[in-house]
Amino acid sequence: MLHVPVGSREKGDDFSSDDSLIEHFDVIIVGSGPAGYTASIYTSRAKLKTLIITGSLPGGQLMTTSEVENYPGFPNGIFGPELMINMKQQSERFGTTMITDEVTKVDFKNMPFKIYTESSIYTAESVLISTGATPRKLGIEPEQAFSGRGISYCATCDGPFFKDQHIVVVGGGDTALEEANFLTKFGKSVKIIHRRDNLRASKILQERAFENPKIEFIWNSTVVDIKGDGKISSIIIKNNKTGVETKLNVGGLFVAIGHEPNTSIFKDQIDMDDRGYVIVKNHTNTNIDGVFASGDVHDYRYRQAITAAGFGCMAALDIEKWLAERKQ
Ligand code: NAP
């Protein structure tokens, strides 16, 4: 089919009435974190015509992290952006087409599948959803400025950077308690700040946290301000019952108040759970034949770069097999 270069198209143009303007792929991958890039390395290397639609931030969450110390193969660590650029280059080496654009709509009801972006329409025999998840933010003004400068959304990723410091974890769910437990290996102290006086976390994790002498709970409280000169040095918390504000000196603030899977564009197209995570069966298959999912968009348990990359590899192998079987 004829391909009209993306640059020659205008936002809002309607290509749906002229199929000759639509470029067709064996595989379209939506999302460019470790899952999407890894999948594309495998599918392109297997000679499947592959398009990645990267979203507005190619590389995903790791583009906003500093050093990654636990991705195998880098004994001295690697910066998140460098790791993602390496993955991108490795994928391009095998011929993946990359488009930096946002997907606005999908149609999985008919074959070939249709993917609409802000400037184009593409069709595909198979689609991989690897749009990831976004950590929920506290939503207070200084949060953005201190992100990566004392504020972290992943204890496994960043905990070791806070050795012998006073650490605060916000949240009352499984993640907050699991992360707080983990962080006691590094921090001088770990305080969990929860907005209620009742934890949402499972009983076993509650017991473990209550038994840990390094963990202290501060109930009915929220973080209302963050202070520091370039790096975080203290936070102001407010008791929701009394209104009293208290200053805490902290070196690290871990926000563990849940994640939002980036799945709004797939609503009514594939099965999701009540939180919006894509439901997969047999590891990477969605309820639509030919549509697959990998990474944090379905995996709320592990959420690591290496596990996302692993899921991406699995999805690519499943896609390859699925396409081969259809051709027989
Ligand atoms: P979660 O269960 O949704 O808990 C989020 C916590 O953050 C809640 O305590 C919530 O308070 C609090 N919160 C939400 N928004 C807030 C805000 N704006 N300000 C302050 N606090 C806020 O999320 P999660 O802990 O990440 O867990 C997600 C899923 O993964 C769960 O199903 C969990 O069971 C699972 N998980 C399992 C394991 C494990 O099995 N080992 C480990 C990690 C996660 P409220 O309680 O007041 O709503």
Q: How far is the CA of 175 from the centre of ligand 1 (A)?
A: 6
DSSP class of 322 = H
Q: Which helix (H) or strand (E) holds 178?
A: helix 174-183
For β-strands 231-239 and 245-249, DSSP reports them as antiparallel
Distance CA 320, CA 148 (A): 38
Query: Is residue 182 in contact with ligand 1, taking CB distance under 6 Å?
Result: no
Query: Is residue 217 in contact with ligand 1, taking CB distance under 6 Å?
Result: no
Q: What is the pLDDT at residue 156?
A: 84
CA distance between the termini of the chain: 23
Q: How far is the CA of 275 from the centre of ligand 1 (A)?
A: 11
Query: Is residue 154 in contact with ligand 1, taking CB distance under 6 Å?
Result: no
Q: How far is the CA of 303 from the centre of ligand 1 (A)?
A: 14
Distance CA 302, CA 58 (A): 22
Residue with tokens 């149609």: 107
Q: At what angle do helices 34-45 and 305-327 cross, to 10 degrees?
A: 40
Distance CA 323, CA 149 (A): 45
Nearest CA to ligand 1 atom 38: 174
Minimum-distance ligand 1 atom for the alpha carbon of 300:
30
148 vs 111, 138, 144, 158, 227, CA distance in Å?
A: 43, 15, 9, 9, 14
Q: What is the pLDDT at residue 66?
A: 67
Q: What is the pLDDT at residue 4?
A: 35
Cβ distance 127 to 30 under 8 Å? yes
Torsion angle defined by CA atoms of residues 178, 179, 184 and 188, in that order, rounded to the nearest 10 degrees: -150
- Residues with Cβ within 8 Å of 251's Cβ and at least 6 positions away in sequence, in order, are 150, 162, 165, 166, 167, 187, 232, 233
Distance CA 106, CA 109 (A): 9
Tokens in use for 314?
């699995």
Q: What is the pLDDT at residue 57?
A: 81
Q: What is the pLDDT at residue 260?
A: 94
Please tell me whether the overall predicted TM-score, pTM, comes out greater than 0.85 for this model.
no
Distance CA 235, CA 169 (A): 12
**Cβ neighbours of 29 (radius 10 Å):** 35
143 vs 65, 152, 201, 258, CA distance in Å?
A: 15, 10, 25, 16
Strand partners, 245: 238
Minimum-distance ligand 1 atom for the alpha carbon of 259:
26
Distance CA 29, CA 292 (A): 9
Q: How far is the CA of 62 from the centre of ligand 1 (A)?
A: 22
Query: Is residue 200 in contact with ligand 1, taking CB distance under 6 Å?
Result: yes
Helix intervals (H) in 199-298: 203-211
Query: Is residue 171 in contact with ligand 1, taking CB distance under 6 Å?
Result: yes
Q: What is the pLDDT at residue 64?
A: 66
Rg for the chain (alpha carbons), in Å? 22
Minimum-distance ligand 1 atom for the alpha carbon of 139:
18
Q: What is the pLDDT at residue 175?
A: 87
b/e string for 192-213 if b means 16 or more Cβ within 10 A?
Answer: bbbeeeebebeeebeebbeeee
Distance CA 62, CA 158 (A): 12
Choice among 26, 101, 158, 299 that is catalytic: 158
Query: Is residue 240 in contact with ligand 1, taking CB distance under 6 Å?
Result: no
Helix intervals (H) in 117-154: 143-146
Tell me whether residue 313 is one of the annotated catalytic residues: no
User: Nearest to residue 41, comparing CAs of 97, 114, 91?
Assistant: 91
Q: How far is the CA of 24 from the centre of ligand 1 (A)?
A: 41
Q: What is the pLDDT at residue 18?
A: 57
Q: What is the pLDDT at residue 5?
A: 37
What one-letter code names the amino acid at 90? Q
Nearest CA to ligand 1 atom 5: 257
- Reading the chain (328 residues) residue by residue, the pLDDT tens digits are 333 333 334 444 454 455 656 899 999 999 999 999 999 999 999 999 999 999 988 998 888 666 788 899 999 999 889 999 999 999 999 999 999 999 999 999 999 999 999 889 999 999 999 999 999 999 999 999 999 899 999 888 899 999 999 999 999 999 899 899 999 999 999 999 999 999 999 999 999 999 999 999 999 999 999 999 999 999 999 999 999 999 999 999 999 999 999 999 999 999 999 999 999 999 999 999 999 999 999 999 998 999 999 999 999 999 999 999 998 8
Q: How far is the CA of 17 from the centre of ligand 1 (A)?
A: 45
Query: Is residue 174 in contact with ligand 1, taking CB distance under 6 Å?
Result: yes
Query: Is residue 170 in contact with ligand 1, taking CB distance under 6 Å?
Result: yes
